Amino acid sequence: MTKNVAFEIEVYKAGSWKVDSIFDDRALVLFEAKRLESYSRQNNIRVIEETYDDATNQTSARVIFRSAKVSPPATPAPAERKPDVRPNRERQKPDAAKDSGIGQAIWFALAVIAIISAIIFLKSFAAQL
C-alpha cells in the first residue's frame, strides 16, 4: 500500500482559486507559501495537501495553510472606522452652537414677558389716576 502526497499552492484570483505551483515537500511548500504571502499584496494564498491512496484508489485533499490576508470589505467595518481625531473644542462646536441658540430664545422670551408686564403695569397705573 502506497500513499502519494503532493502539495499545491493556490492563489485566489478573479473569484476562484488557481493552482500556482506543485511541490512534494511539506516544509518547502510552506516556506514558499509564506514567502509568497509576504510579497503578495492582494492575493489570498492557501496550500492544499493531496493524498492519493493506492489501496483505495482515492484522493483526499485538505487545506494545511491559509494566508491571513482577507479581501477588503466594500464598506469599512465599524471597528475599522477612522477615529475622530479632531480637538475637543472643535468636536463640541455643534453642541455649543445649539446651546447658544436655546439660550438666546429663552432670553428673548423673558424680555417679551418683561415688556408685556411693564405695559400692563403702566396701563393699570394710568387707570387708577
Partner 1 sequence: MSEDDLPPGMERRLSLRILNYWRSIRQDDAFPAKGDLDPAAMSDIWGYCVILKIEGNEADPLVDFCGDEIKKLCGEDVTGKTISTAPPKCLITNGLNLYTRALAKRVPITYGDEFENDKGVKVLFRSAILPLSEDGTTIDHFLCATNCRLDEPDTIDGDEA
Per CB under 8 A, residues contacting partner 1 are 13, 19-25, 28, 31-32, 35
**In the bound complex, what is the minimum distance in angstroms from residue 23's beta carbon to partner 1?**
5
- The residue among 46, 36, 41, 38 whose CA lies nearest residue 12 is 46
For partner 1, the closer of residues 51 and 92 by Cβ is 51
66 is written with which cell numbers? Answer: 491559509
For partner 1, the closer of residues 3 and 35 by Cβ is 35
User: What is the helix (H) or strand (E) element at residue 60, kind and residue range?
Assistant: strand 58-66
**In the bound complex, what is the minimum distance in angstroms from residue 64's beta carbon to partner 1?**
16
Secondary structure (3-state) at 89: helix
**In the bound complex, what is the minimum distance in angstroms from residue 9's beta carbon to partner 1?**
9
Q: Are 8 and 48 in contact (CB under 8 A)?
A: yes
